[in-house]
Amino acid sequence: MSEKIKVAFICVHNSCRSQMAEALSKLLAADSFEAYSAGTETKPQINQDAVNVIKELYAVDMNDTQKSKLLSDIPPVDVVITMGCNVKCPFLPCKYREDWGLEDPTGKDKEEFVKTVKIIEQKVLDLKKRINNLY
């Protein structure tokens, strides 16, 4: 069997959307691809609102399983997914990239986090279906 495709979810701070995408990918698509998340800057800890929503909905504690990482902290990847930075989206060499254009829920209410995580869940499941045909 060939090596699994490596996917990186990236945004500037690697503390919220990209972390949720990494957590959901590991939960829902580990059989299809290896998931990483990273940013051009890190935060001392992952966004705790994101942590709480993932814990409540999926029983995964990102405080235990993940940390904020720089692009240089992850291995070379095949696919890059940018979260929708609207600023200088980080660049990482890859064979294929796409942007998910997600609004950052940071600082908003729990409902916004739940909405964002549900969109991420659908996109991860869609990516899982498409992953072998991307390039």
Domain limits at 72?
5-133
Considering only CA atoms, which of 11, 9, 23, 8 is closest in space to residue 53? Answer: 23
Q: What's the confidence (pLDDT) of residue 88? A: 66
**Number of structural domains found in the chain:** 1
Cα 129 to Cα 133: distance, rounded to the nearest angstrom:
9
Rounded to 10°, the helix 110-130/17-28 angle is 50
The 10s digit of each residue's pLDDT in 56-109 is 999 999 999 999 999 999 999 999 999 986 666 667 889 999 999 999 999 999
Q: Is the pLDDT of residue 7 over 60?
A: yes
The 10s digit of each residue's pLDDT in 36-51 is 999 989 999 999 999 9
Hey, which bits of the chain come out as E strands?
A: 5-10, 33-38, 79-82, 96-99
Q: What is the CATH number of the domain that holds 115?
A: 3.40.50.2300
Q: What's the confidence (pLDDT) of residue 35? A: 98
Token reading at 2: 């060939």
pTM (2 decimals)?
Answer: 0.94
